[in-house]
Amino acid sequence: MTSGQTNYGFSATKGDLRSANPLPRAVLRSNNYLLLDGEWSFALDPEDIGLRDAWYVSHQYQHTTNWPGSIEEHMEQIKVQGQPSRWQDKVVAWYEREFALPERGDEHSLFQLTFGACGYETHVWLNGHQLRTIEGEDVHYGEYTSFSFELRAEQLRPVNRLTVRIADTMDAETPRGKQESHVYKRGGIWYQTQTGAVRSVWLEMVERNRLRSRVGIESVIEDHLVRFNITTRVHDPGVYTLRLQVFATDSVSPQPLATSDFSLKLEAGQRQQRVILEIPDAKLWAPGSPNLYRLVAHLIDADGYDAQIETHFGLRKVESRGRYVYLNNEPIYLDGILYQPGTATYEEMRRHMHAMRELGCNLVRVHIAGIDPRIYNLADELGLLLWVEVPSPHSSTPRSRENHRAELLRMLALIQSHPSVVIWSLYNEDWGCQDIATNPETRRYIIDMYHYMQIEHPQFLVVDNDGWQHISHEGRLKSDLLTAHLYTPDLPRWQELLDRLVQGEMVGTAAFPLVVGDPFFYRRQKPLIVSEWGGFGFADYGGPAAGEERTERIRQFKRELRSRPIAGDVYTQATNIEDERNGIIDPHTGELSVPPGVLNSGTAPLL
């Protein structure tokens, strides 16, 4: 296609993360960027011949479409004659556009190309030359997190041609969440695939020797120390100074609250470094008081050249202790709601988040989906706790476990800095680990990942398999929470299920036994969470579809939860999605169909 597009000039990133972060990332880099969204050439490759015929060198595209957008949307738009509007096994699509090269910065800078999310399988070429990600991948796998390429000077021209091949299948061994597969077909709780060019792509100037936008933050509130995990990316070996500065976000003072320098001898390449900073008298982050601090991190070379990134963070501590969840050493009841954003835009998700807080929720369970990382920033600001989950594969095999682990690590690398993220689920309702009760290898993998999270990411609570069939090994539950999914529209049956749950009855409460593996004696040593309930209005769950009757049913069920020693609950669900017509928030406007505060437990004491 021709280069007659309007978005060629560099824009400057400026402002703070909450009000002026135009790109789908959680860390701000004060630099120039060129957003490559907009019109792209587009072609389907139903016979998968594009690699063989070198479409990345030259190809006559018959269609155009807009990036970002899913392949499914683009197929529907072009309505290729003889091609189905939905794919049922495999899809391959090619995208291409040209861009004029902006003026390069000084010798300290290079161009970096970043995809906010794209996949599941993505190849990228620049002027016919295949690119490798910074992590060294010729092909990037995954569709929920960002990935980047550094562009070498010899690859660049005044006008450049960018070519992208995206492939996906119904393979049940890849992380899919609730998108249909060869195992679970669309309908009911399973949704149409939404794959491909799902987030923005941009070109930016970055320093040759810099800090990557991957920051992990752990705090131990008793000692006022914050542990920062920083990733350096260096082309020129040498001795560098890592300088951390912490500022109050609610102050106009230009002086940092805390600052410290660390000397690092860095080889070429990428490495992670943990450093610790003391922040005396720091205010803690919690729902109702989401106190945030601004981190400015500098990597300074021997000549004094300074490369910076900026993010915000909060100090908080979450624990599973006895019957309850503790936040900052105080017991907290989790008033949660299940959230499946589906194809919602960023602005729609913003409305949903505000609406969920208006409902009285202090917790949002983002259900096995990847979301725009700016939403994590918004949750930090609003004081909403987040429960996030790895999008699950749909079959249990060695390969599905490898894919699951890779997806978990990609997600952790990019969202480990947010105080709002407090809980992670490895699996949900056995999806992707259907043999959890019978296969020791499956249980061993989940146990290993649970232990990995405990050691490497102690700032989170971890659930092994949400809903039922939690793993007990030698009498130790390999989950920080004992969770159950309980669905019934009948109040007496609801009361009976809750009574059986709090009495520690492991069989006959949820759809499957609550615990598998070795015997586990509850004895109130783990917090009980009813992590799905309600769903009123969805045919599979029953109950009133709308109006005062549904509001009253929610209130009745909520009262029963709070009259028992239960640590939290998650109502299903926030918005309608495809066949699941049980939402209480309008998916487009964010308006509530129930009264504000209906999911708020108020100040009821914990039993």
Chain segment 33-60, per-residue pLDDT in tens: 999 999 999 999 999 999 999 999 999 9
Cβ atoms of residues 83 and 44 within 8 Å: yes
For the record, the structure tokens of 99 come out as 């861009």
Pairing of strands 421-428, 461-466: parallel
Q: Which helix (H) or strand (E) holds 72?
A: helix 71-78
Quick one: average pLDDT of 489-511? 96
* pLDDT digit string, tens, across residues 566-580: 999 999 999 999 999
Burial of 519 (0-12, 13-18, 19+ CB in 10 A): exposed
Helix/strand/coil for 571 = strand
Q: Which residue has the higher pLDDT, 150 or 607?
A: 150
433 compared with 601, residue with greater pLDDT: 433
Q: Which residues of 72-85 are buried (b: 16+ CB within 10 A; e: fewer)?
A: bbbbeebeeeeeee
Look up residue 498 and give its two tokens: 């809750």
pLDDT at 85: 63
The alpha carbon torsion through 477, 478, 480, 486 (nearest 10 deg) reads -70
Helix (H) / strand (E) element for 495: namely: helix 491-502
Task: State yes or no: pLDDT of 84 exceeds 80.
Answer: no
User: Where exactly are the structural domains of the chain?
Assistant: 11-207, 210-314, 334-585
Q: What is the pLDDT of residue 5?
A: 43
Q: What is the enclosing helix (H) or strand (E) of 326? A: strand 324-327
pLDDT of residue 4: 42
Q: How open is the CA angle 214-405-339, to the nearest 5 degrees?
A: 75
Residue 3 or residue 548, greater confidence = 548
In order, the DSSP letters of 410-473 are HHHHHHTT-TTEEEEEEEETTTT-TTTTT-HHHHHHHHHHHHHHHHH-TTSEEEEEETS-EEEE
Superfamily of domain 334-585: Glycosidases (3.20.20.80)
- Amino acid 74: pLDDT: 92
Residues 11-207, CATH architecture: Sandwich (2.60)
pTM over 0.75: yes
- Please, where are the H alpha helices in 298-421? 346-358, 374-382, 398-415
- pLDDT tens digits for range 337-381: 999 999 999 999 999 999 999 999 999 999 999 899 999 999 999
Architecture of the domain spanning 210-314 = Sandwich (2.60)
- Name the percent of the chain lying above pLDDT 90: 87
Q: Whole-angstrom Cα distance, residue 98 to residue 440? A: 52
Report whether pLDDT(217) > 90. Answer: yes
pLDDT of residue 605: 76
Q: How confident is the model at residue 83 (pLDDT cuts 50, 70, 90)?
A: low
In the chain, pLDDT over 70 holds for what percent of residues? Answer: 96
What whole-number distance in Å separates Cα of residue 288 and Cα of residue 269? 42
Question: Is residue 581 pLDDT above 60, yes or no?
Answer: yes
Question: Alpha-carbon distance 337 to 583, whole Å?
Answer: 10
* Mean pLDDT, the chain, integer: 93
